[in-house]
Amino acid sequence: MNLKSLEKRLTYLTANAIRDYRMVEDGDHIMVCLSGGKDSYAMLEMFRLLQQRAPVRFDITAVNLDQKQPGWPEHILPDYLDSLGVNYRILEQDTYSVVKSVLPEGKTMCSLCSRLRRGALYTAAEEMGMNKIALGHHRDDLVETLFLNLFYGGRLATMPPKLKSNDGKHVVIRPLAYVPEQYLEQYAGHKAFPIIPCNLCGSQPNLKRAEIKRMVQAWEQEDPNRLNVILRSMQNVRPSHLADTDLHDFAGLQGSVAPGMPDPVTGEEDAFAGLQADRVDAS
């Protein structure tokens, strides 16, 4: 796919996600979190293009968190953003040393690193008066997270396209929620983004996410539309056809025969009427 066609497809998918979840509104000031990876570079480009075409007016500020990883090329992002004329801010916080000192050797770093990074971004957003925080997670990330939670967390959950933080102060948006990763890879190649690899988590072997990613990629090779179907399933949830008693009143479901009364067909009484069973823990 050539650059023009690819960019048209990316803006279409991004605009659809923004519209469906009302991610961007008139007067928003959006923190565009820039990691140095292909996804966040593409997200920044989508926002820049949509600023020219969107029916609402919004401001963007690119923000990068310098986590003080050894060998981090500090000049690359400022040079790139200066060349675009984009407003930006580089935050500095040594989360690298914190993660390395707290976690034992061989322990997965992603969870702690993510929490520390999120805290720094939330604080900066509040200080700078930005009401939305945009992250570059794409369709494949959402699908992979769904299966990570399903296989290893015992829950049906993923990264939502739009989320309010626990303290209620921040709204996190994921405008690339509909975009396949392969489009972003192609786009990064066309645009020659100055990619900066993350040596903190990328160097860890046997990550569960990498296992899930291989599984998902194999599925996509078998059926190129499968991940889109899985994404649609996340938008078409039927609590009554799952098993969560907090989401659906299974206990209150009754047929036409009142509990304890003889069935008019069989004449038998409901043997379980009045009994109250504890929830079964199948773990």
Helix H, strand E, coil C: the string for 35-90 is: CCCHHHHHHHHHHHHHHHHCCCCCEEEEEEEECCCCCCCCCHHHHHHHHHCCCEEE
How far is it, in rounded angstroms, from Cα 29 to Cα 15?
17
- Could you tell me the pLDDT band of residue 205, with boundaries at 50, 70 and 90? very low
pLDDT at 107: 56
When pLDDT is cut at 50, 70 and 90, the band that residue 67 belongs to is: confident
Residue % of the chain over a pLDDT of 90: 65
Of 59, 69, 35, 181, give the one whose Cα is nearest residue 131: 59
Q: How confident is the model at residue 101 (pLDDT cuts 50, 70, 90)?
A: low
Rounded to the nearest integer, the mean pLDDT of the chain is 86
What single-letter amino acid sits at 100?
Answer: K
Do 90 and 78 contact (CB within 8 A), yes or no?
A: yes
- High-pLDDT (> 70) share of the chain, %: 80
Q: Which residue has the tokens 């993660």?
A: 99
CA distance linking residue 111 with residue 155, whole number of Å: 17
> Residues 129-177: pLDDT tens digits?
999 999 999 999 999 999 999 999 999 999 999 999 888 888 999 999 9
- If DSSP codes are grouped into helix, strand and coil, which group holds residue 33? strand
Q: Binding site annotation covers 198?
A: no
The architecture that CATH gives domain 3-233 is 3-Layer(aba) Sandwich (3.40)
Establish whether 110 is an annotated binding residue: yes
The residue with tokens 């979190």 is 33
For the CA atoms of 118, 30, 16, 165, the dihedral, rounded to the nearest 10 degrees, stands at 40
CA distances 62 to 42, 124, 139, Å, are 12, 12, 22
- For 18, 66, 77, 254, the CA distances from 93, given in Å and listed in that order, are 31, 6, 16, 57
pLDDT at site 272: 52
| Banded model confidence at residue 279, pLDDT cuts 50, 70, 90 | very low
**Domain residue ranges in the chain:** 3-233
